[in-house]
Amino acid sequence: MTERKIIHIDMDAFYASVEQRDHPELKGKPVAVGHAEKRGVVAAASYEARKYGVRSAMSSVKALKLCPHLHFVEGRMEVYKEVSAQIHEIFHRYTDLIEPISLDEAFLDVTENKRGIELAVDIAREIKQSIREELHLVASAGVSYNKFLAKVASDLRKPDGLCTIHPAQAQEFIDHLPIESFWGVGPATAKKMHTLGIYNGRTLRECPLDMLTRQFGKAGQTYYDFARGIDHRPVEPTRIRKSIGCEHTLGKDISVKSAVIIELYHVACELCERLERKDFRGNTLTLKVKFHDFTQITRSTSTGTPLHTLKEILPLAKQLLAHVDYQNHPIRLLGLSVSNPKEDTPTPPPLTHAPEWIQLQLEFK
């Protein structure tokens, strides 16, 4: 069996880098894409801003406290989409097996590539160079024999990184990899793993499969495989939509029941419009709530019938909300998503901890 050659390309500080490229006066300065106003949120931050602790999803107020000379720039989503298309044109020079993860990252399967280049690392190097010379942007790349390791490799030497994890080196590398660096392990999961004595790939590999599935459900099999360098997922050029969602960042924190219900109604209406536009139906409704202190929770419920209309969705959303204590914890953001389309067949759990949220443009109310 031919060993696969997978590349993961991740654009460095993509939105902020595009803004610095198009506005030379911002080069070398800390830049945040988003609104500087009181209720604003950072959508992306340049590496100069990250040195001060500024991160995406951070409130603008906190970002400015960390970096008083931070330059805020309004987001231009249409421009980012156009640049992303140009990046994909470069990818297609080498392979058509491209799986986009977002506007700024993708997997490429170059096992058999259009230019007959033997080493995947040489292809990754050429792609990085073309992006730099033609688009004046910087990308990081990870190369390995599966998606998990290629993704981890691309994160190792950012920015402008290029890292290869060879099969012969994989197990030793994984054994020393902090559990927080495993794809799909977020802060909550990492904390739970720490309580179980799991701190890196080696301690994860020592855990029996039945213990991991008992503690983490279906994701336990994924963690078990990853600890052994196993990931058979193919690079899928066509991604089947698994969910549709939307969220509203509120103008002010709210805790009064009537105000929360009104906002929930507006989010539900927006969600139904998106479902109608995409002709999507799913059996699971998920409520996302972010509180005033930026902590957040999700609550889900599944039904036997596909969800599509406001009449079906709003009552379920209210039921989920009834189990949320927001009177003592004012709400900053409300979101809803529909997932689990009926025609789905069982698949490995997604390597994220939330549904595929679709942010309402790049605006924060």
Cβ contact 149:167 at 8 Å? no
Rounded CA-CA distance 242/219 in Å is: 17
pLDDT of 305 reads 87
Encoding tokens for residue 288?
């996302």
Task: Provide the total of helices (H) and of strands (E) in the chain, helices listed first.
Answer: 13, 12
Cβ contact 137:13 at 8 Å? no
* CATH 1.10.150.20 in the chain, residue ranges: 169-226
Contacts of 338 (CB under 8 A, 6+ apart): 243, 244, 245, 271, 275, 280, 281, 282, 284, 285, 286, 307, 308, 313
Superfamily (CATH H level) for 243-339: DNA polymerase, Y-family, little finger domain (3.30.1490.100)
Encoding tokens for residue 277?
């536009």
**Positions in the chain short of pLDDT 70:** 1, 239-240, 342-365
pLDDT of 183 reads 86
Q: What architecture (CATH level 2) is domain 169-226? A: Orthogonal Bundle (1.10)
Which amino acid is located at 278 in the chain? K
Q: What architecture (CATH level 2) is domain 1-165? A: 2-Layer Sandwich (3.30)
What phi and psi, each to the nearest 5 degrees, are found at residue 31?
-125, 140
Q: What is the DSSP string of 192-226?
A: HHHHTT--BHHHHHTS-HHHHHHHHTTHHHHHHHH
pLDDT of 361 reads 35
pLDDT of 240 reads 67
Nearest CA-CA partner of 12 in 98, 138, 177: 138
pLDDT of 88 reads 96
> Order of strands across the sheet with 282-291?
243-254, 331-339, 282-291, 296-307
**Beta bridge partners of residue 333, listed in sequence order:** 249, 290
> Which secondary-structure segment (H or E) carries 152?
helix 147-156
* Residues catalogued as catalytic: 105
pLDDT of 213 reads 95
pLDDT of 330 reads 94
Cβ contact 318:310 at 8 Å? no
Cβ contact 283:302 at 8 Å? yes
Q: Are strands 139-144 and 162-164 parallel, antiparallel or unpaired?
A: parallel
pTM: 0.74
* CATH 3.30.70.270 in the chain, residue ranges: 1-165
* CATH 3.30.1490.100 in the chain, residue ranges: 243-339
